[in-house]
Amino acid sequence: MDMPVQFVQQGAAAAVDRTVWIPLVTGADYVKPWNSTPTGSPKAKKVFDGGTAANTTNAWEMEDTTNLPGVAKVELTAAEVAELGHYVVGINAGGAFGHVLVIVTEESPKTMGASSLATQHRAGKPS
């Protein structure tokens, strides 16, 4: 199964740098973009490095139903990006389905630096 990937810098301070975007489709056909406003404050699910699934601290919401239909966002907390590793963040609620692989890296995702981990990621071989 293909999954979108987003890099987040370990310990990112700014909320925008910890925000992940998740493309959503309807659970009915898994093709049509899901573009409804969620009711209440639904949480996304997160799994860190193959551990136990848990709710995200913050609720997910739609980014912009007019200009970016089918795109949800959830802001991870500083604690959620404190450790290097891989998250799968997913939504399966209220008819919406989507997920993204989040890689918490030691370097800024804008430059990815010259670290060995960044080199591995660019080569498609994360450790």
Q: What is the secondary structure of 17-77 as a DSSP string?
A: HHEEEEE-EETTTS-SBP--PPSS-PEEEEEETT---EEEEEEPEEEETTTEEEEEEEEPP
70 pLDDT exceeds 80? yes
36 pLDDT exceeds 90? no
β-sheet bridge partners, residue 93: 96
Collapsing DSSP to helix, strand or coil, 105 comes out as strand
126 pLDDT exceeds 60? no
Q: Please compute the mean of the pLDDT values over residues 95-100 and round it to a whole number.
A: 91
35 alpha-carbon distance from chain centroid: 18
How high is the pLDDT of residue 127? 47
Which span out of 42-46, 92-96, 117-121 was modeled with the highest average pLDDT?
Answer: 42-46
How high is the pLDDT of residue 63? 85
Q: What global pTM score does this model have?
A: 0.78
